[in-house]
Amino acid sequence: MQTKVKKGTIVIDSEKCKGCKYCVLTCPQKCIEISSSFNSSGYFAAKFSNPLNCIGCAMCAVVCPELAIEVFVKD
Ligand code: SF4
Ligand code: SF4
């Protein structure tokens, strides 16, 4: 019997992001990278670059010190 893998998606508030990379380093699916353009505070913000691989585990949101990430899970 196969276990169905959950799919997830995230929304990153780039204006809250300080570019610390915690989410990039924590994501087990390598879904997040740092953007090459900066936000209005001058930080290179995280971006959701690989959405197809997201499993909605929420680890990125848990480690984000700025509460900049929202996670949505779909069955
Ligand atoms: S919810 Fe999990 S898989 Fe999806 S981006 Fe965040 S850490 Fe990665
Ligand atoms: S953990 Fe939060 S503040 Fe740090 S890079 Fe990711 S979204 Fe930005």
Domain annotation for the chain: domains and CATH numbers: 7-74 (3.30.70.20)
β-pairing, 44-48 vs 69-74, is unpaired
Tallying the residues shown for the chain, one arrives at 75
For residue 39, count CB atoms less than 10 angstroms from its CB and return exposed for 0-12, middle for 13-18, buried for 19 or more: middle
- pLDDT tens digits, 6-56: 899 999 999 999 999 999 999 999 999 999 999 999 999 999 999 999 999
Mean pLDDT of the chain: 95
Query: CA 64, CA 73: separation in Å to the nearest integer?
Result: 18
Share of the chain above pLDDT 70, in %: 96
Q: Is the pLDDT of residue 3 over 90?
A: no
β-pair partners for 33: 47
Distance 40 CA to ligand 1 centre (A): 25
Instruction: For ligand 1, atom 4, name the residue with the nearest CA.
Output: 54
pLDDT at 2: 65
Confidence of residue 1 (pLDDT cuts 50, 70, 90): low
- Site to probe by mutation for ligand 1, drawn from 5, 25, 48, 71 as the one with most ligand atoms within 8 Å of Cβ, is 71
**Ligand 2, atom 1: closest residue by C-alpha:** 64
